[in-house]
Structures are given as C-alpha cells and as structure tokens.
A and B are shown apart, each in its own frame.
Chain A
C-alpha cells in the first residue's frame, strides 16, 4: 500500500498510516462543500483528485508551485459570491492586489494553520491522522488544477474547529493581528533565532518563493521527518487510548521540525510556526516562544498570535480586519492554505501532533459549558383537514460565534426534521458517521391530530413527538462534526426553510425497512469480510446484541406502561366503587373512612397515571431513541464494510492487470504493454485510494462509536436518574396519601 510506489522521487517514503488521512479531511469536507459551491458534485470524484495529485506531487514539486497561485485567486474570488462573507472578501482582496506580498502570505498562512488545528478538536481518537491530512491536501489540491474542489475542502475544514473550541481560535489570531507586541520572551527568542532569513525573504518577491521548488522540498522533508516518528507513534497506539503519554512525545518531537522549518524557509517557516503557536499557546505557551516571536516580528501588519490578549482587543481586531465572523476567519484560512501550498503541510503536520492532548481537555471543557441550547416548544397545528400539520418552535440559545445571533427561533414542521436528517445522512453516513435518526413518522398519531380531536391521546402524541424531536436535534448539534454542517445551521437559523421533499421514504415502515436492509447487507458482508480488526468485529457483535436486548427491554417497558395504565384505570374503578360502598355503609365512621379510602384511591389513580407517563417518556422513549440510534451505528459499520469491499475489488482488479502485463511481457507485445502499464498505475492509485478510504472510514467509525458510547452512557445515566426521581416522587406522594388516611381508619369505631 505504499504510496511511494508510483513515485520514486519522493525522498522518504510516506508513513503508511499517514496516507489515508489527507482524504479524510478533504473528502469529508468536499462532501459538505459541494452543497455550497459545487452543487451536486459527486464526492467520489473529488476524492479521486487528491490521490492523483498526490502522486503528481510526489514525483515533481514544480507543478505544485505553479499551481499554487491560481488557487489563491480562485479562493479569493469565490468567497465573494457568498453574501455573508463580505468583510472577509475585503480582507482577502486587499492582499490579493498586492500580488503575493509577504504579509499577505502570512495572513493567508495563519488561517491555514488554524484550519489544521481544527481537526484536532474534532478527532478525539485519531487527531493526528486528520490533522496530518490537512497538509496533504495542501500539497495536492493546488496541483490538481486548483479547481473548485480544493477550495471547498478548505472551506469546510475550519468549520470543524469552530464547533470544538468555540471562541479561542478566533481570538488568538485576531489578537495577534492587532497586537504587534506579543510576549516579551517571545520577542527575544525571535531575535535570536530566525531574524535573518525572514527579513531576506520578506524583501524578496513572494512569487519567487513560490516558484522555487526548493522550498517545497524542504518543507516536505520536514513534513516527512515529522510524520515518520510521531505519526507512527500515534498510530501504533490503539486509537481509543490516545492518552497523554504518546501525545506528549509527539508534541516534543513536533517542536523540533518546526524549529528547523523556521530556519530553512524563512517567511514561510514563520507561518508554520504560527500554527503551532495556536495550538501550543492554548496549553503551553512557553514551549514554543520562538514560533510566536517570529510571527510577530515578521509580519507586523498581520502577525496573528498573542494568546494573552483580552476579548477587547479581539473586538478591535475584528473592526480593523473585519474578521468578526468565524465564517470569514474560516475563509481566510481556506484561502491561506492553497497559497501556502508546499510549506503549509509541515506546519500543520507539526501542529497536529500536540492536538490529541488538547483534544480531550477541550472536549471536557466543551461538555461542561456547551454553549448551545436548543429547545422545541409550542407545537401548533397549522391548516385544516388532511393538509394540516404541526409546526414546532425551535429556539436556539448560543454563544457560539458561528451563529449570527445569540438567540433565535424558527418554526419547523416534522418533515423539515426528516429533511434535515436526510441531508445529513446523505453527506455523512458515507464517511462512517453516526447520524442521529429522527423520530419515525406516525400516520396513526398524526391523523388523529389532523382530525382535530383534542383528546388526551393526541395531546400525548404531540408532546411525545415534540420531546423526541428535541432530543433528536440536541443529538445533532451535540455532534461536533454535524454541528459544522451548513444544513444544520440553516435549519436552526433560516427563517424561510424550503420545504423538504421525499421525506416519505423515511416514514415509519420505510425507515424500518432501511434499517433492515442495512442489517441484511451487514450480515451478508460479514461472511465475505475476514475482519482484520478484532475491535470492529467485537463491537459489531456488541451492537447487535445490544440492539436485541434494547428491543426486548423496550417491549417490556411498553408492557409495564400498559399494565400501569391498566392499574390506574382499575384503581379509578375501585375508587368509585368504594365511594359507593361508603355511601351505603350505615356505620357513620366506617362510611367516612370508606369515602376517604375512595379519595386516596382516586389520587392513586392519578399517581399511577403519571407514573405510566414517566415510564413512557423517561424510559421507553429513551430506549426507542437508542434502538433507532443503534440502527445508525450499524449503518456506519455497514459503510465501513462497503468501503472494504471496494478496496478488495480494486485489489483484485490490480492483480488481474498485473497478470495481463506479465502475459504481454511473455508474449512480447510491446504495443499493448504501455497500455497495461498505464492500467496498472491507474489501479495502483485506486487501490491506494480505496485503502485510504477504508482506513479513513474505519477510523471515523471507531471514533464515532466511541463517541456514541460515551454519549450513550451519559444519556442513559441522566435519563435513569430522571426516571428514578419520578418513581421516588410518586412514592413520596403515596406515603403522604396513606399517612393522611391512617387516622381516618383508626377513627372507625
């Protein structure tokens, strides 16, 4: 699976594990991005680009540098089309006019670095992989005609970081921009180290820098050196256990290359350093003073890194640079990347290493003060007859900068929720993400509502659905990758949502069918697939067993709800009957006691009724949610298998092509030999690509499953406690009622 097979030139072979990564980011991003820019572009096509370009780059660095300029232009012009990004466009346009002047490079580079830091948060389990993918993209994309695809990639990347570390990344760069005086230590260090080369380089034309293949080479060397050790470290460890130790190692190792880079590359290296500082400053500023310093010294206009700055400064910065919205920031980063081309990788690679550490910490933080609250309220019937539907008020409260305002509400109908799921599922399921499924359509329940009977069961239905939708949406926004999706934001923010179509496919039986189909194909594929990774095999079995148990439990809880309701009804009947008996009783005290008993039983009826409701709401609904979620989990396993299958098929194909070549050699037919060789090259690339895809999907699935389990444990615990509290409360009430009755019974004479 060596990528280097096709390219003899690339000095040190890329570590194997590294290879799949680039696509991960690029691929996933392009999926997202296609909506925005490319419309219905096939993600697969986009995926192909990097692979092809990868080999190109590996063999020759020149195209890279040549290509690097057009993408910048593209990027600069493209964002302009987006209305929301206006300020950012300004920012980008200015430097553009200066035709690749050094400062502009800096500016562009910074975002790039940030972008590379973004995945770290994202990827709990394999941060290194995604992070390292960023550089790869940078290398490849420009080479590949610098068309829409790479651009899109970059656009999307930053999105992921916004989610995880809400305000921090934004503040850092901006603050830097404003504040030319970073840390004093930093400055001194700067003076000592990279002063000379930077100044030289700055005087030079940036275009020269780009033209020089040397630059990219050096960058590559660093990159590889970085990748070699730390990456392997990371990967050799079980991903799930990406604990602090290996990360620390990586962190240290990563520092060295960065330093090297700064010496060699001059201004470019400065840029690289900025990135690390981003990351490092958050955890350990002192470790990387050199990087910070270089940045500030070199680019006064837009040196972007002092972490210690206060929000005030941040605000000012936003004014000056009109970088106020994260979106702009993101664009900037995107823009930065292509222009950075060759050098960028080393930066992001080194930057990515320390990320695992921050990751978990950050995630903890994020969990603690998750700054996005979503509630669904005010279900309202709109329209009449069979065309009627329920509209729900979706209120969002957030401090996340990715949203336009802090609080906003929109009205959505059920099919909008289904539509959202469909969009998300289309985009993310393919990559192995677990997309939370919405509640199922219920024709029965909805018809009742439509018919307009204001009885208990339809009110209960509406409330149940409201709660289910709320949980669904909360799960979506709680998913770091899904929150980044523009469709999610649109769903939460946009006032006039276009009507979702074809949600019928998801309704009730259809949804079940879908899950069943997934199940079938899983079982089919399990036979074929000899699982290389025991983890997946075990997990899948666990998931299947759990699914069965949950279904069983759900039936049991449903029966409990049924029996409890029955008990409530029967208690009510008994209460009435005892009241009658009491009225017939001729002993006054006994008659009184009996009517008191009737009252107690009446309250018990209520109590049982309420308890049945919380059995259903707190317990049964939780189980139903997770039965559906497990369906999604299985679907993500299914994706992995499919990806594996594709890889295997490609391998078989390659094998055949090689055989053909051998035959041709034997038959001595040189005319066809070239064609055969080309075929082999093509299929080799495909095999590499598919294997990378598979590794990427595997990594995602693994990460997602672990995340899912964590969420599940949290969710269950929360709900169980809630449920037990409801039980506790009803027992408390029960005691109260009986204690009040006791003296009445004793008063019977």
Chain B
C-alpha cells in the first residue's frame, strides 16, 4: 500500500500535542511522506537562517530508523544528561488497519457491495489517519529538537537535517537489541538501588514522587482512552452495517415503509460519519495527548534517573575520598574525582530543574489546548447529530 500526504491534509494533522515556541531561525517540517510496506520515507524539510547550515532551505529523505538513531545518539551524549530528550517517535503501526482490511476481505461475502465499499473506505480513512499520525509524531520530534536551545545545536541533529544522502543507519542487530534490553534491565535494577539514596533537594524529591505517580496514572489513562476510542469507532462502524442493511430492506419493501426505511438508512449513514469523526477526534485530541505525555514523562523520568545516578556517583566519590583520606592514599585523585562528580551532579541538577519546570508549563498548556478543542468538537458533532436527528424525525412525522 502506498500513499502520500499532501500539504493541506498535513496542515490539519499538524501537531497539537505540544506547544512549541518556534524560533524562526530553524524551521523543520515533513511536507511529504511515502509509505512502502513497512517502511515510511519522510521528506524532512528545513528552513534556516543559521550559518551552521550550508544552505538556507533544503530537504532530505529520512526513514523511521534514522529518527531512532538520532534519538539514541542524543540520549547517549553525556552532555545532554541534564536535558529531557524528546521521546522518540513510535514505530509506524499499520498492523491494526491491515488486519482489519484482511478481515474485511474475508467477510466480503456476507456484505452487500455498498456495505463493503463503505467499510473499505472507512478502513482506508483509518489507515490514512494512522499514516498522518505517524508523520505528525516524527515531525513533532524534530520540532522539539529544533526549538530546544541546546539540542538544536547538536552536530548529529544537523547532520540528520542536512546530509542529502541516505544516512544508511545500521539497523540494530540481534545482539545489540539484546544489549539494549539488558541495559534497560540494569537501569531498572539500578533505579531501585539508587532510590534508597537520600534526596538532597526538595524540588527533585517532589518531582520524583510526582512523576512516578503521574507516569503510572497516565499510562493507565492512555490505555483506557485508547479502548474507549476504539469502541467508539466500533459503534460508528456498526452504523455502516445498519445503514446498509436498512437500505437493502427498503429496496425489497414496497409498502409505505419504504420511504421511511430509506430515510432511516440515510440518517444512519450520516450519523456514522459524525460518529466516526467523534471517535477520531477523541483519538486525536485525547488519546494522542495522553500518549505523548506518557512518553515525555518517561523522558523526564530518565532525566531524574541520570541525575540520581550522578548523585549516587557523587556519594560514592565522597565515600572513596573519605577512605582515601583514612588510608592517606591517592587523596588527590579521589578529591579530583569527587569534585568532578559534584560538578556533574550540580550541572545536572541545575539544568534538570530548568527542564522539568519548562516541561510542566508545556504540559499544562498542551492539556488546556487539547481539552478545549475536544470539548468544542464534541459539542459541534453533537449539534450536527441533533440537526440530523431532528430533520429525520420531522420528515417521518410529516409523512
């Protein structure tokens, strides 16, 4: 399946999950994307006034894996330990619409042609929505980097934007995949260990409790919102079948009922469009918001972990220094190490505090925007529904 996005469509789908203070010196967007089976090729377009780039305006082809590579290099860069690294965009997931399409094909015999066509259209629309969402999250990732004062200067980021050949990032092989899995395990275990260390800063103490709590809650909310929107979608899909069956019922009918059935079928067809919009808007405004902040909070938690790690290192270096002094051996070395650790920790604390505060502001703004938009859309759709229903009721009654 191949599809492309045109500009106008993308405009609508543009990120709403994050509020970015776009700085005109570096503007990034993905005007076009091409989907070939599992691979999605994004065209990353950059407009800049910065002298560090060779040209003011350029486009490069990038794949999802390139984004992951960029993310990973940023995470691994020691200098950015005190920053919240924007979460990597999730892998494009076309499985669910594909699977549905497959099921639809199997059930084709039980449906009328019209019904099948509508279901197919609906699935295509769903597929397109997934596609748009994918493009959007990738774009948001780059935009967050570009709007970040430090990360936007990153060399790898600039290469990612500028290098006009295929980056041909090496895909992770099995060993490396296992390695990163193992690393995660170690990290989790480490988190448990260092969680015993006494926090020296109230701000971070609070942030930690908050983020831990919030992260588990938002994870739950995201899953439930997903479930909710999915069942809403199912309801809208049922309307299609009902409408189609009512239609074929009206074809067979020759009595006064025929007209009523036609109207009824027609109404259901209209209602399902509205209902479908309700479902997809809920998905976009609510589920996506929650999902994005679930990932972002994970990134914030990672920052806290790195800082806690640094704190632990500093404590250890303190102990090592004490030991050295006791033994009167390698004191200078230990002092140096202790100083380094302290510096690192202080630096992390300082930038972490800044990052977390800005994260909080960003989150509140994004929630506000999305909740308002969702409420407005809900009202709009419900009013549409009402108008449709009222019209139909009047029509039926007047007959």
Contact = CB atoms under 8 A, between A and B. Distances in A.
Interface of A: 542, 545-546, 549-550, 552-553, 556-557, 559-560, 563-564, 566-567, 570-571, 573-574, 577-578, 580-581, 584-587, 589-590, 593-594, 597, 709-710, 712-713, 716-717, 720-721, 724-725, 727-728, 731-732, 734-735, 738-739, 741-742, 745-746, 748-749
Contacts of A556: 238, 241-242, 245
A593 B241 contact: no
Interface in B374-398: 375-376, 378-379, 382-383, 385-386, 389-390, 392-393, 396-397
B224 A549 contact: no
B42 interface: no
A546 B245 CA distance: 10
Contacts of A728: 386, 389-390, 393
Interface in B206-239: 210, 213-214, 217-218, 220-221, 224-225, 227-228, 230-232, 234-235, 238-239
Kindly state the interface size class of chain B when it binds its partner: 35 or more
Interface of B: 210, 213-214, 217-218, 220-221, 224-225, 227-228, 230-232, 234-235, 238-239, 241-242, 245-246, 248-249, 252-257, 260-261, 264, 267, 271, 360, 363-364, 367-368, 371-372, 375-376, 378-379, 382-383, 385-386, 389-390, 392-393, 396-397, 399
A559 B110 CA distance: 15
A745 B242 contact: no
Contact of A549 (B225, B248, B271): B248
A580 B218 CA distance: 9
A466 to B, nearest CB: 26
18 contacts: A549-B248, A553-B249, A571-B228, A574-B224, A577-B217, A580-B220, A581-B217, A720-B396, A721-B396, A727-B271, A727-B385, A728-B393, A731-B386, A732-B382, A735-B383, A738-B378, A739-B375, A749-B368
Contact of A586 (B210, B218, B367, B390): B210
B217 A584 contact: yes
A742 B213 contact: no
B221 A570 contact: no
Contacts of A739: 375, 379
Contact of A573 (B228, B235, B241, B379): B228
Nearest to A543: B252
Nearest to B370: A745
A563 B234 contact: yes
A725 B253 contact: no
B228 A720 contact: no
Contacts of A566: 231, 234
Contacts of B230: 570
A152 to B, nearest CB: 36
B360 to A, nearest CB: 7
A578 B210 contact: no
A720 to B, nearest CB: 6
The 3 A-B residue pairs with the shortest CB-CB distance, nearest first, are: A748-B368, A560-B238, A745-B371
B210 A574 contact: no
B382 A716 contact: no
Contacts of B393: 721, 724-725, 728
Contact of A731 (B217, B235, B242, B382): B382
Contacts of A585: 214
Contact of A748 (B217, B264, B367): B367
Nearest to A733: B382
A716 B389 contact: no
A557 B386 contact: no
Contacts of B379: 735, 738-739, 742
A733 to B, nearest CB: 9
Per DSSP, are chain B's interface residues mostly helix, strand or loop, or mixed?
helix
Nearest to B238: A560
B386 A721 contact: no
Contacts of A748: 364, 367-368, 371
Given A553-B245, A581-B218, A584-B214, 12 more contacts: A542-B254, A546-B249, A556-B238, A563-B238, A587-B360, A593-B368, A721-B397, A731-B385, A738-B382, A745-B368, A745-B372, A748-B371
Contacts of A590: 363-364, 367-368
Contacts of B214: 581, 584-585
B364 A745 contact: no
A577 B382 contact: no
A732 B382 CA distance: 7
B376 A574 contact: no
Contacts of A557: 238, 242
A720 B394 CA distance: 12
A559 B397 CA distance: 28
A742 B225 contact: no
Contact of B235 (A545, A563, A581): A563
Nearest to A720: B264
A3 B291 CA distance: 86
Nearest to A552: B245
Given A560-B235, A580-B220, A546 B252 contact: yes
Contacts of B364: 587, 589-590, 748-749
Contact of B245 (A549, A597, A745): A549
A577 B221 contact: yes
A578 B217 CA distance: 8
Nearest to B361: A587
A549 B252 contact: yes
B275 to A, nearest CB: 10
Nearest to A706: B255
A331 B399 CA distance: 43
Contacts of B371: 593, 597, 745, 748
B349 to A, nearest CB: 19
Contact of A713 (B238, B248, B256, B382): B256
A716 B257 contact: yes
A724 B224 contact: no
B389 to A, nearest CB: 4
A742 B368 CA distance: 10
B253 A546 contact: yes
Nearest to A554: B245
Contacts of A546: 249, 252-253
A513 to B, nearest CB: 25
B5 to A, nearest CB: 30
A570 B396 contact: no
B288 to A, nearest CB: 14
Contacts of A574: 221, 224-225, 227-228
B45 to A, nearest CB: 33
Nearest to B241: A556
B267 A709 contact: no
A731 B245 contact: no
A88 to B, nearest CB: 42
A746 B227 contact: no
Nearest to B383: A735
A419 B254 CA distance: 34
A523 to B, nearest CB: 18
Contacts of B213: 584
Contact of B375 (A564, A578, A710, A745): A745
B224 A570 contact: yes
Contact of B376 (A550, A727, A742): A742
Contact of B257 (A589, A717, A738, A741): A717
A573 B226 CA distance: 11
Contacts of B248: 549
